[in-house]
Amino acid sequence: MSEKTVSYQKVEHFTDFEEPKRRRNYFMVGVLVFTVGFFIFSLSQLAIDYLRLLTGVGKFIQLLPVMVPPDFTYWREVLAAAVESLQVAIVGTILAIFFGIILAFPAAENLTPHPVVSSFIKGFASFIRAIPTIIWALIFIIAVGMGPFPGILAITAGATGMLVKVFAQSIEEIDNGVIEAMKATGASWLSVVVHGVIPTALTALLAWCILRFEGDIAESTILGAVGAGGIGWELMHAMRLYRFDQAFFVALVIFMMVFSVEFISNRLKMRLKTR
């Protein structure tokens, strides 16, 4: 083989390697240009009044003397509502983890009994996930009435849609060699899941559970504002009565609750990473 032929083959190989990279770069530039253009278009279409923003900042500053110091008079009711929000988040998240685990294994492409089953479960999860949790709360309030129960159902629905997706993705990232080796020994589908998949993907699954619980704590406080129980209802009640000092105290309790949960969950995630 001549030196000229070898050189030509190297150039051809280099061209084959550069072409997909060049197309990917063009695609990323196109996405960036579209995003910036749509952002500028949205600013012009929404007609944001920046003068009102400055006026609103001034009104907020005027409210500060009314909000401070916070009113601790109804601390028992507020703390009881905070505990209720925490209970709603815990129960809803645990139920979502249960349903998410059950649906994630047949949804994963490397474990599903049939591709149609995987597509159906993932499509169902996408449908649930597409509806915001607060909309689920309003739907369940109509169905079962006001209180913490519709909040639990709403968090369960919203979290299940998300957990099915991330659980299935974590399972699909497992080395197929582990699954194929167990199948070669004659292990059943359930044995493969229990003894092969779960021990391998356990750290990722636990990390997703903790992350989802953080989000559900924040959502449980919001759901109370629409009548789904919890501390959000106390905040809206204080705002409607123009008791801004009491509302500030409720906001402080919400902050401490969310911050404490995030602090504990971050410590748990750090321990999971060191395993």
Q: Decide if 235 contacts 60 (C-beta within 8 A).
A: no
Q: What is the pLDDT of residue 160?
A: 93
What is the residue whose two structure tokens read 């059943």? 188
More confident call, 128 vs 17: 128
Q: What is the pLDDT of residues 26-72, one digit of tens each?
A: 888 888 999 998 888 888 887 777 777 778 777 777 777 777 778 77
* pLDDT greater at residue 237 or residue 130: 130
User: φ and ψ at 47, to 5 degrees?
Assistant: 50, 55
**Which of 63-67, 161-165, 205-209 reaches the highest mean pLDDT?**
161-165
Reading phi first (left if > 0) and then psi (alpha if -120 to 50, else beta), residue 15 is in alpha
Q: Is the model's pLDDT at 14 over the cut of 60?
A: no
Instruction: Say what the pLDDT of residue 15 is.
Output: 53
* pLDDT attached to residue 42: 84
Q: Is 208 helix (H, G, I), strand (E, B) or coil?
A: helix
- Write down the mean pLDDT value for the chain: 82
Rounded CA gap, 163 and 151, in Å? 18
* pLDDT winner (highest mean) among 18-27, 101-110, 234-243: 101-110
Structure tokens at 177: 């060699």
